[in-house]
Amino acid sequence: MNKGILFLIPCSISDAPAAAQLSPRVLHELPSINSFLVEDVRTARRFLSSLKVFPSIENLRFDVLDKDTKAVEVESLLSPLLQGRSIGVISESGCPGVADPGALAVKYAHRMNVKVVPLVGPSSILLALMASGLNGQQFAFHGYLPIGPEIQRAIRESEKESLAKKQTQIFIETPYRNNQVFIHLTKTLKESTMLCVAIDITGSNEQIRTQRVGEWRQQKTEWPKLPAVFLILAE
């Protein structure tokens, strides 16, 4: 029997209608899938419902794959693949497998010799890098900056690494900490370091701005509480 396929299905990263930001192939493949691994069932149902490709989402199966899912559970969640049924992985925001728990499912799919197909959609990390004008030939993504007094040391180390490797350093932040992290970055980084702040990418409040830390310091900036990506390049 042919095995099913593990499809990696991107979803919207902003208030913009999802269908405008997803590649048409997503809508083309979805009708062949009726089982989904999702971070949050409610938002995944709402997302699929908004795409209007299923006559009803009541017949779809949703299982939770989040940061608390154990490896042994993942194996059993993926077992329908061995019976020829395809499964879709959907993240809370953007591309499954990037800055989310989806990679665990993919890892087991490879172990089971199951085909993995990534579909094209929005990634705030990649879009921020594109729009930053910083080095796109060498870059590193670090997730979140540490909370607490650790943050300044982490910023300084990241700046040092950026300078040594000419490597763009990328961080994400949860909306309510944007201003706090921005203040830490502008206080701690060197004047000559380039800093890009990318807020609400693809959304109605999208703002992407790159300038030297010295220039940021001369302005009073207040960021909205929306998803943000911070990128630095030391020069």
Is 4 a binding residue for its own copies by CB under 8 A? The answer is no
Distance CA 131, CA 200 (A): 13
Q: At what angle do helices 150-165 and 178-188 cross, to 10 degrees?
A: 60
Residue 111 or 187: the one with the smaller Cβ distance to its own copies is 111
> Judged by CB under 8 A, which stretch of 45-53, 101-109, 150-158, 224-232 contacts its own copies?
101-109
Cβ atoms of 57 and 45 closer than 8 Å: yes
Distance CA 156, CA 161 (A): 9
Is 8 a binding residue for its own copies by CB under 8 A? The answer is yes
Q: How far is the CB of 210 from its own copies (least distance, A)?
A: 4
Q: Phi/psi zone of residue 148: left (φ > 0), alpha (ψ -120 to 50 degrees), beta?
A: left
Is 136 a binding residue for its own copies by CB under 8 A? The answer is yes
Distance CA 66, CA 142 (A): 19
> Judged by CB under 8 A, which stretch of 37-45, 114-122, 179-187, 217-225 contacts its own copies?
114-122
Per CB under 8 A, the list member of 129, 155, 229, 234 interacting with its own copies is 129
Radius of gyration of the chain (CA): 20
Question: How are beta strands 139-144 and 87-90 bridged, if at all?
Answer: unpaired
Is 206 a binding residue for its own copies by CB under 8 A? The answer is yes
The token pair at 71 is 């490896």
Is 88 a binding residue for its own copies by CB under 8 A? The answer is no
> Judged by CB under 8 A, which stretch of 43-51, 75-83, 137-145, 176-184 contacts its own copies?
137-145
Residue 6 or 48: the one with the smaller Cβ distance to its own copies is 6
Neighbouring residues of 192: CB distance < 8 A, sequence distance ≥ 6: 212, 213, 214, 234, 235
Binding site for its own copies (CB under 8 A): 8, 19-25, 28, 95-100, 102-110, 116-118, 120-123, 125-143, 167, 201-202, 206, 208-211
